[in-house]
Amino acid sequence: MIRILLVDDDSKIRDMVTEYSQAESWLFDKAANGIEALRLMEKHSYNLIILDVMMPGLDGWGTLRRVRQDSDIPVIMLTARDEEYDRLLGFELGADDYIGKPFSPRELIARIKALLKRSGAYDTVREVIEARSLFIDTSARQVKLADNTLTLTPREYDLLAFMAARPGQAFTRDQLLNHVWGIDYVGDARTVDSHIKSLREKLGPERELIATVWGTGYRFEGGKNR
Amino acid sequence: MIRILLVDDDSKIRDMVTEYSQAESWLFDKAANGIEALRLMEKHSYNLIILDVMMPGLDGWGTLRRVRQDSDIPVIMLTARDEEYDRLLGFELGADDYIGKPFSPRELIARIKALLKRSGAYDTVREVIEARSLFIDTSARQVKLADNTLTLTPREYDLLAFMAARPGQAFTRDQLLNHVWGIDYVGDARTVDSHIKSLREKLGPERELIATVWGTGYRFEGGKNR
DNA sequence: CAATATTGTGTTGAATTTGTGATAGATGAA
DNA sequence: TTCATCTATCACAAATTCAACACAATATTG
């Protein structure tokens, strides 16, 4: 079971969120401020916490700070404004995601799902991606070429798995950076090339599975499309 | 390619929006009511839908309900008033954002951008443009002629994809420069001719798909017109 | 028909993009 | 701590693309 703590002083928002997420069969606990939230956290453990920034008493930042003292629970912050300063402060304090008010419940739910998935709260569905003689076991994070197991570095694996899951689609280097490295990563786009290079090296005879899309980026040639 | 469906019974609004968004090189399809919109959605997939609430026949709410039955496409609603009731009804039905009429095109464009961005993938819709024996896979950036894959340069591809997505429409060289090369490109308009030439060469038997419009520019003959 | 305007095409040096090896710093395990 | 990866970035070579130009071919006009 997935248990989520929603902390917001506005009861309308609390009700709205729980109502529109009924289809997900998550268990919601609600708190109106940071103090209440911390009390609940002593009693229960949560898969995810949603924290409003502006609250009377202990606000969202203070609560987040306390939460991070002894846990890595995924946290989504609700900020009134979408200001750069808030985002930076939040990342520094260890928030995992953001939503600016007003938001649509649909969006919040989508982000909850994404974050739960990322944190591994859902049992990963065992899925094996096949392409020619390449087999990618996504739950084991293991890649086989014919009968040999390849030893890929984490980045190499993530990059390969991401592209192989979307065969036939061309990605720009920036898209790959966003999806594989993370949305807030800043750095040289050519870094992607380096990892593509070492991937191709390890793929050996199947190196052609990763095609260069000139002027754009790369594409995994998987035969089967989505 | 980013493809957007704009549904509004007021043709003035339809024209205004497409005009102001020229710099974005999005592909707009337009419909005057829900029925038309649903018909278009059967034929194409969209990155985003903009729905006017007040329309004769099938209105915005009804259309939204139908859309949500089988897709998660981001939807922006155009409401005449900015009433709380409308917002709540819309969220319940699964709208992603709102904009109250009258609105500034600038604001709508900003919201479209924001929604495309946070809808995760600022990625292209998977769509294959067909014309005779030519197949253009816009997400793979790949073009097939019958069964052979053509190797186009980036410019050639962009030019072909842009024109083929708007069959039957004549473009001046300047328009093509603006849309394909970019709004701030300066250079000889005849450069377009060079690329048209090499495209025709590679199209071989289907070279006639690109027609010369004397005194104006070029047109892609796609059969189906929009 | 001739004169003019517009488009087609081959060529080419410059510019852009990608492949690759080297390397220093970061990270994490022993 | 030391050691062994891993990672990002750089620089240079190789591959590819591009814009522009000149001239040929074709269409339009009067």
One domain for residues B178 and B112: no
pLDDT at B100: 83
Q: CA(B165)–C1'(D20) in Å? A: 28
CA pair distance B18, B143, nearest whole angstrom: 27
The CATH number assigned to the domain holding B63 equals 3.40.50.2300
- In chain B, how many domains are there? 2
The reply to whether residue A16 touches residue B91, judged by beta carbons under 8 angstroms, is yes
Q: CA(A45)–C1'(D22) in Å? A: 77
Q: What is the 3-state secondary structure (H, E, C) of chain B?
A: CCEEEEECCCHHHHHHHHHHCHHHCCEEEEECCHHHHHHHHHHCCCCEEEEECCCCCCCHHHHHHHHHHCCCCCEEEEECCCCHHHHHHHHHHCCCEEEECCCCHHHHHHHHHHHHHHCCCCCCCCCEEEECCEEEECCCCEEEECCEEECCCHHHHHHHHHHHCCCCCEEEHHHHHHHHHCCCCCCCCHHHHHHHHHHHHHHHHHHHHEEEECCCEEEECCCCCC
One domain for residues A50 and A83: yes
Return mean pLDDT, chain B. Answer: 88
**What is the average per-residue pLDDT within B207-219?**
95
Whether B177 CB is under 7 Å from strand D? no
The CATH number assigned to the domain holding B208 equals 1.10.10.10
Residues of chain A in contact with residue B152, where contact means CB-CB under 8 angstroms, are: none
One domain for residues A189 and A168: yes
One domain for residues B109 and B136: no
Between residues B95 and A216, the one the model is more confident about: A216
Q: How far is B213 from chain A (nearest CA, A)?
A: 29
Q: How many CA atoms lie within 13 A of A73 on its CB side?
A: 25
One domain for residues B172 and B105: no
CA pair distance A214, B150, nearest whole angstrom: 13
CA pair distance B12, B199, nearest whole angstrom: 36
Q: Look up the domain containing B109 and give its range.
A: 3-123
One domain for residues B119 and B182: no
The token duo for A40 is: 């609940």
pLDDT at B31: 95
pLDDT at B223: 65
Q: Tell me which nucleotides of strand D come within 7 A of a protein CB.
A: 5-11, 16-22, 27-28
pLDDT at A84: 60
For chain A, how long is the longest CA-to-CA vector?
Answer: 62
pLDDT at B226 over 70: no
pLDDT at B54: 87
Residue A116, CA distances (Å) to A12, A41, A119, A189, B41 in order: 24, 18, 5, 28, 31
pLDDT at A217: 96
pLDDT at A225 over 50: no
pLDDT band at B168 (very low <50, low <70, confident <90, very high): very high
One domain for residues A118 and A136: no
Looking at A79, A106, A123, the residue that finishes a domain is A123
Looking at B123, B152, B184, the residue that finishes a domain is B123
- Type of residue found at A207: R
**What is the average per-residue pLDDT within A219-226?**
70
Q: What are the residues whose beta carbons fall under 8 Å from the beta carbon of A141, sequence distance 6 or more? A: A157, A161
Q: CA(B87)–C1'(D8) in Å? A: 46
* Number of CB atoms found within 10 A of residue B77's CB: 25
One domain for residues A102 and A163: no
Residues of chain A in contact with residue B155, where contact means CB-CB under 8 angstroms, are: 215
Asked if A109 has any chain B CB less than 8 Å from its own CB, the reply is no
The reply to whether residue B141 touches residue A219, judged by beta carbons under 8 angstroms, is yes
Give the pLDDT confidence of A182-220 residue by residue, as tens digits. 877 888 999 999 999 999 999 989 999 999 999 999 999
Looking at A123, A143, A161, the residue that finishes a domain is A123
Instruction: Please state whether beta strands B75-79 and A128-131 pair in parallel, antiparallel, or not at all (unpaired).
Output: unpaired
pLDDT at B95: 84
Give the pLDDT confidence of A67-98 residue by residue, as tens digits. 888 787 889 988 876 566 666 666 667 788 88
One domain for residues A18 and A114: yes
Q: How far is B122 from chain A (nearest CA, A)?
A: 8
Between residues A223 and A197, the one the model is more confident about: A197
Give the pLDDT confidence of B142-162 residue by residue, as tens digits. 999 999 999 999 999 999 999
Q: How far is B21 from chain A (nearest CA, A)?
A: 23
**pLDDT above 90 covers what percent of chain A?**
37
**Which range has the worst mean pLDDT, A96-110, A118-132, B27-41?**
A118-132
pLDDT at B27 over 80: yes
Q: How far is B76 from chain A (nearest CA, A)?
A: 11
Q: Are A132 and A113 in contact (CB under 8 A)?
A: no
**pLDDT above 70 covers what percent of chain A?**
88
Between residues B214 and A86, the one the model is more confident about: B214
pLDDT at B224: 55
pLDDT at B41: 93
> Smallest Cβ distance to B96: which of A107, A214, A219?
A107
> Angle CA(B37)–CA(B138)–CA(B180) in degrees, nearest 5?
95
pLDDT at A24: 76
One domain for residues A9 and A119: yes
Residue B124, CA distances (Å) to A114, A174, B176, B216 in order: 20, 14, 20, 30
pLDDT at B189 over 70: yes
Give the pLDDT confidence of B100-133 residue by residue, as tens digits. 888 888 889 888 888 887 665 555 667 789 999 9
Asked if A131 has any chain B CB less than 8 Å from its own CB, the reply is no
Asked if A107 has any chain B CB less than 8 Å from its own CB, the reply is yes
pLDDT band at B88 (very low <50, low <70, confident <90, very high): low
pLDDT at B163: 96
CA pair distance B68, B54, nearest whole angstrom: 18
Phi, psi of A19, deg, nearest 5:
-65, -45
pLDDT at B136 over 70: yes
> Smallest Cβ distance to A170: which of B92, B139, B153?
B139
pLDDT at B86 over 70: no
Q: How many CA atoms lie within 13 A of A29 on its CB side?
A: 20
Asked if A12 has any chain B CB less than 8 Å from its own CB, the reply is no
One domain for residues A10 and A99: yes
Q: CA(A195)–C1'(D9) in Å? A: 12
CA pair distance B21, B19, nearest whole angstrom: 5
DSSP string over A112-163: HHHHHHHHT-SPPPP-EEEETTEEEETTTTEEEETTEEE---HHHHHHHHHH
pLDDT at A46 over 60: yes
Residues of chain B in contact with residue A107, where contact means CB-CB under 8 angstroms, are: 96, 118
One domain for residues A164 and A116: no
pLDDT at A126: 61
Residues of chain A in contact with residue B91, where contact means CB-CB under 8 angstroms, are: 16, 20, 104-106
